[in-house]
Homo-oligomer: A and B are copies of this chain.
Amino acid sequence: MIWTVYLSGEIHTDWRERIQAGCAELELPVEFVSPNTDHDSSDAAGDHLGTEENPFWRDHKSSKVNAIRTKNLIESANIGVVRFGSQYKQWNAAFDAGYLAALDTPYITLHDADIIHPLKEVDAAAMAWAQEPEQVVEILRYVTQGK
């Protein structure tokens, strides 16, 4: 069994790379999927469908094109990892967590201790809270190896 892991959230640090590198080193049977993590191309995903003067509709079109991707990937996942940085709003990450919770797909949160309180509902529905990407790697190692 290959485990599909959906990596949701923050795009400004190297947490995805550290998780992927850690799992690769251990040769875990894991496949990673993510939304587009490039901010500019994500915002422009719908631009080729026609220019919008109203920024709401530009965002709307691009977000829906992105959602074709993310909806499929989230629903294909065995496990979610949802990352929150301490600075940004990252409502899309919390949205993904709620989506995973409703699908009853296990997910892990990854964030620092200083945002425990505002994330309490998101953490309450999670199967684990990690502070470092390497802890996520260790969870994935354990979960896929069962020992």
Contact = CB atoms under 8 A, between A and B. Distances in A.
Interface in A50-82: 50, 52, 54-57, 59-72, 76, 78-79
B123 A60 contact: yes
On chain A, which size bracket covers the interface?
35 or more
Interface in A80-132: 84, 88-104, 106, 108, 113, 115-125, 127-131
Contacts of A146: 34-37, 69
B102 A139 contact: no
Interface string A27-55: 00000011111100100011011101011
A55 B101 CA distance: 23
A135 B48 contact: yes
